[in-house]
A and B are shown apart, each in its own frame.
Chain A
Amino acid sequence: MSSRAFAPLEAGAFDATEKTGIARDTSVRVAPPPGTRRHWTESAGTARTRRLGLRFVALFYLLALLGAPVAMIFYRTFEHGLAPAWDAVTQPNAVHAFWLSIELVAIVVPLNTAAGIGIALLMERGRMRGRSLLGLIVDLPFAISPVVVGLSLLLVYGRTGWFGNWLTAHSIQVIFSVPGMVLATAFVSLPFVARETIPVLHELGTDSEQAAATLGASSWQTFWRVTLPAIRWGVVYGVVLTTARALGEFGAVSIVSGRIEGQTQTLPLYVQDRFENFDTTGAYAAAVVLALLAFATLATMSLLAKRTSRDTLV
């Protein structure tokens, strides 16, 4: 999941068709030695079939896995027209869930962006020991099931947990309220920025940072004016993934939030709640809102990517 993968995704696909196109042309143009002609044509034909077959399989897989279900959600939502869907998403609880999800994203994404860049810098530029251990810790949220994350937060911050007494004494409520949900969301979405930024930092190398130092820049100036602009695409891609994960998180948040309607219900929890209460229109409509938020995130990034690549030709 390299950060580079995002912007050049289309370019990569284009390259592949170009190459195969050239390969096909050559196989036709190069005169084969006499007697081998049939073999040559056949192999070109086989390659073509294989390529088409691969395309078909890839498209079918995407369609079955992603396209059809998402399309069905949209279809079911607007089955009876726009009005019922609109009514469903403007329910006070739905609106509250929407804003709560946005609030979580607004808190968690900046936190994890800063933390992720910091971790990436430590791992790529730092000289401390135990960097590989840090790498393992950063990957933990990928490995641990969100439900386990939720439970472990409960064990630490819950009423009977380690800090439970202290928190109660200072009347700070973590579990069943926003702070706990922030913790849970931050935990599960921690690795993205760091993991996307580390390879870009590695590839960037230290030359330009050292150049900045010899030109009199402080570390702070070097970071803001040289390092950050150079790694921005890794960071942006990480931010998009973090946002998507934070928006969609269900398991961990489900446990620490207590799922109190109109109070600690995020959009995914709201979808589940509506579904369990046989309010399919409400569930589908809220799901569409989630999907649209995700699309908007992706679209914002592609727009940014396009504009900047035209500006700097990097």
Chain B
Amino acid sequence: MAIEVHGVSKRFGTFTALDYVNATVEDGSLTALLGPSGSGKSTLLRIIAGLETPDTGSVVIGGHEVTAEPARRRGVGFVFQHYAPFKHMTVFDNVAFGLTVRHEPKAAVRERVEELLGLVRLDGLAKRYPAQLSGGQLQRMALARALAPKPEVLLLDEPFGALDAQVRNELREWLRRLHEEIHVTTIFVTHDQEEAMDVAQQIVVMNAGRIEQAGTPHELYEHPSNEFVMSFIGPVNRLGDALLRPHDIQILPYPDGSTVEALVRRVVHLGFEVRVELTLPDGRDIWAQVTRETAAELELAEGQILAARLPAPRVFA
């Protein structure tokens, strides 16, 4: 189901969490709400779910205005940042909750729960309690629970925030595949641009209660509409008002007409990527991102003087 948000504002006391936000999420898409903390992304997600009431504006899900509908009638699955497990219930009962509150027949509940536990790879753990699960398992249980009543929309608040790096990567991959399988319109909140680029088809970049830009990861990276998006979505060098991407800086052994001199201050090897910190003749510091091969060819070392070819910088008014 497509989701539309029209002119939504929300204030908490004197803090403006959302400032007249408009957004559209296509049916069946996988969208990331990306922004720094305090940008309003979680508030927007909670307003779509009906967990917060907007001060102004409206929310439309699948063509129906739901602004006045309580959360329980919106057909929205929500996965909380800290999973919000029902600690006194087994994994089975947690996942079954959304079905048993609708008084569905026992056999149907059992069948659906088993199917979901298989989907999230928790079969065999049905009789455990949340306290006996790891973070990643809790996360998957929360997902199965949210999916059980077959929601039209799945919302996830910082779904991978509390997990360690390896589990996080596995779950990202898995969420993407799950979405390919069940095609439920999915929105997740994250402050990690890499995570957003990795998982989402669409990214909505938020800052200070407003939407800065929405588009595919590629669009945002190649054509950022403003300085905030450019610097939030990837690494940047700042030369006065101009911004340039470190990987767009070419390093050459000899100068030609289009290069400037650059002194190598430091070389940092980060696996495949090598980070070269440079000082330009006017004393300004920038850094460039080169491949391991380039670094080896140039025999990069501290104190070396090389030639750097700077790309046309982007200047945002």
Q: Which residues of A contact B (CB under 8 A)?
A: 207-208, 210-218, 221, 225-226, 229-230, 312-314
Contact = CB atoms under 8 A, between A and B. Distances in A.
Interface residues of B, number: 31
Interface string B98-120: 10011000000000000000000
B84 A211 contact: yes
A217 B149 CA distance: 11
Nearest to B90: A312
21 contacts: A208-B84, A210-B71, A211-B145, A212-B101, A213-B71, A214-B71, A214-B77, A214-B78, A215-B97, A215-B101, A215-B145, A215-B148, A216-B72, A217-B72, A217-B97, A218-B101, A225-B86, A229-B89, A230-B87, A312-B88, A314-B131
B71 A225 contact: no
Contacts of A312: 87-88, 129, 131
Contacts of B85: 208
4 shortest A-B CB distances, which residue pairs?
A215-B98, A207-B84, A214-B78, A211-B84
Given A207-B82, A214-B51, A225 B97 contact: yes
Contacts of B145: 211, 215
A225 B100 CA distance: 11
Contacts, number: 79
B87 A211 contact: no
B80 interface: yes
Contacts of B88: 229-230, 312, 314
Contacts of A216: 72-73, 98, 101-102, 149
B101 A221 contact: yes
Given A214-B51, A216-B149, A313 B132 contact: yes
Interface string B147-160: 01100000000000
A215 B149 CA distance: 7
Nearest to B51: A210
B207 to A, nearest CB: 26
Please classify the interface of chain B as helix (H, G, I), strand (E, B), loop, or mixed, using the class held by over half of its residues: loop
Nearest to B98: A215
A226 B102 contact: no
B288 interface: no
B59 to A, nearest CB: 14
B235 interface: no
B51 A213 contact: yes
A229 B149 CA distance: 23
Nearest to B97: A215
Contacts of A225: 86, 97, 101
B80 A207 contact: yes
A168 to B, nearest CB: 49
B146 interface: yes
B308 interface: no
B138 to A, nearest CB: 12
A214 to B, nearest CB: 4
A225 B145 CA distance: 15
A288 B80 CA distance: 53
Nearest to A205: B84
A213 B73 CA distance: 9
A116 B142 CA distance: 32
A217 B129 contact: no
A218 B100 CA distance: 12
Contacts of B148: 215
B149 A211 contact: no
A211 B78 contact: yes
A221 B148 CA distance: 17
Given A213-B51, A226-B86, A312-B87, A218 B129 contact: no
A210 B97 CA distance: 13
Given A208-B85, A212-B97, A314 B129 contact: yes
B70 interface: yes
A215 B87 contact: no
B263 interface: no
Interface centre among A207, A211, A313, A314, by most chain B C-beta atoms within 10 angstroms, is A211
Given A215-B98, A229-B86, A312-B87, 11 more contacts: A208-B84, A211-B84, A214-B76, A216-B98, A216-B102, A216-B149, A217-B72, A221-B101, A229-B88, A313-B129, A314-B131
A202 to B, nearest CB: 16
Interface in B143-178: 145-146, 148-149
Nearest to A213: B71
B80 A211 contact: yes
A245 B148 CA distance: 46
A215 B86 CA distance: 12
Contacts of B72: 213-218
A229 B74 CA distance: 26
A108 B97 CA distance: 34
Given A218-B72, A225-B101, A210 B129 contact: no
Contacts of B76: 214
